[in-house]
Amino acid sequence: MSRTVLAAVMPAPHAPVEVREFAEPDLPPGGALLRTARSEVCGTDVHLWHGRLSGVPYPIIPGHVTTGTLDRIRGSLADVTGRALHEGDRVAFFDVHRTCGRCLACTVHRTPTRCPSRRVYGITDSAAEGLFGGWAQKVYIEPGVIVAKLPDAVTFDAYIGGGCGLLTSVHIIERAKLTLGDTVVVQGAGAVGLSAAALARRAGAGQVIVIGAPADRLALAMRMGADEVIDLSSTTPDERLARVLQLTSGIGADVVIEAAGSALAFEEGVRLARNGGAYVIAGHYTNVGDSTINVHEHINRKHLDIRGCWGSEPGHFLRALSFLERYAADVPWRRIGGRTYPLDRLNDALADAEAMRITKALVDPGLSGQRSDAVTFTGVQEIGRSGDSRS
Ligand SMILES: [Zn+2]
Ligand SMILES: [Zn+2]
């Protein structure tokens, strides 16, 4: 008798997300099925909903960063160190798969995130091919996907609170090449900006300044590791520049991290960096149009180093897990997840995320038929539903 799995499907851009039934797949050798504990609604999902990403094979089951327990394994499954994984293990998997390892990008340019064969769960995998997304009771883990045990200290909510923003931020910090004591300005206080601030602090930054809004996100930025916050909504670009200069003895930031996804943020960021500083661009995941800068003044004469940062590699995923384990008690990752939604309330989740009513929506397919506003993060804990079982 074939079993069925419920999944939330995004049929097409602008169309409402709907819950559909899928047959539980037959597994090939080396394949596995994950029982989803948590997935997330990130900014990319809002872009997917509006059709702002090209080459997306709708219908899709969104949810690229996901965690849960191994439900079924056919044959054997191991992590990257060769350690065997077992049914019932709490795990996370790396959403990027089918990176070829043979093309120009993979071998010569060493930019595997630009590999043309690369696919991403929940974004470039079609629902027509099966359970390739985390907005589902179960997710198909195809052979070759990188799976890792979730450290005991890391709850499902903490992992997803970090989520794709954390993986992105591990890559950002690598690109930033921080030197001990650097002043880092983070533009943006969303999931990426908050994680980047937390990582910059632990990577040895002397001062972390976060520019963003609204006020509750800035308060969370302070708890994540920022020393100073500047409210985007009540200051002008000139006032923010003056404040950064004041905090850096008139020099400017050693490193500026763009995690805002706005053309105006770039125009401002080049001014915030010091002479010879670095600017890492991580927020422009969709085309938001042109930025206008004076190249002489802001790049050449400034000797500015501008670096793009696209996607994540397995090392970023595994380092994120190590980091979460080490700083589980110090960084309030779970607070980034504002509210937890069942599968049949994900249209609300997308609307709430877009309106910035929450920093990030969490998805718990174990919840059903409840009003999303009744299952805020603390509510889930209080009513004891789908808690972080570590069995
Ligand atoms: Zn390749
Ligand atoms: Zn994401």
A 10 A CB-CB count for 324 gives 22
Q: Which residues contact 360 (CB under 8 A, 6 or more apart)?
A: 40, 41, 42, 161, 163, 165, 190, 191, 336, 337, 338, 353
Distance 247 CA to ligand 2 centre (A): 32
Report the length, in residues, of the chain.
Answer: 391
Distance 188 CA to ligand 2 centre (A): 15
Q: Which residues surround ligand 2, an ion (CB under 5 A)?
A: 42, 44, 164
Q: What is the pLDDT along the chain (391 residues), one digit of tens a residue?
A: 579 999 999 999 999 999 999 999 999 999 999 999 999 999 899 999 999 998 899 999 999 999 999 999 999 999 999 999 999 999 999 999 999 999 999 999 999 999 999 999 999 999 999 999 999 999 999 999 999 999 999 999 999 999 999 999 999 999 999 999 999 999 999 999 999 999 999 999 999 999 999 999 999 999 999 999 999 999 999 999 999 999 999 999 999 999 999 999 999 999 999 999 999 999 998 999 999 999 999 999 999 999 999 999 999 999 999 999 999 889 999 999 889 999 999 999 999 998 888 889 999 999 975 544 433 433 333 222 333 333 3
Distance 47 CA to ligand 2 centre (A): 10
Give the angle 199-179-316 at the CA atoms, nearest 5°.
40
Distance 123 CA to ligand 2 centre (A): 9
* CA 113/CA 316 separation, integer angstroms: 12
Distance 284 CA to ligand 2 centre (A): 13
Ligand in closest contact with the CA of 46:
2
Tokens found for residue 10: 């995004």
* CA 220/CA 186 separation, integer angstroms: 14
Ligand in closest contact with the CA of 117:
1
- Residue 238's beta-bridge partner residues? none
pLDDT in tens, 182-226: 999 999 999 999 999 999 999 999 999 999 999 999 999 999 999
pTM (predicted TM-score): 0.92
Question: Do 191 and 164 touch, CB atoms closer than 8 A?
Answer: yes
* CA 323/CA 328 separation, integer angstroms: 8
Ligand in closest contact with the CA of 63:
2
Residue 183's closest CA among 118, 293, 129, 257? 257
Ligand in closest contact with the CA of 361:
2
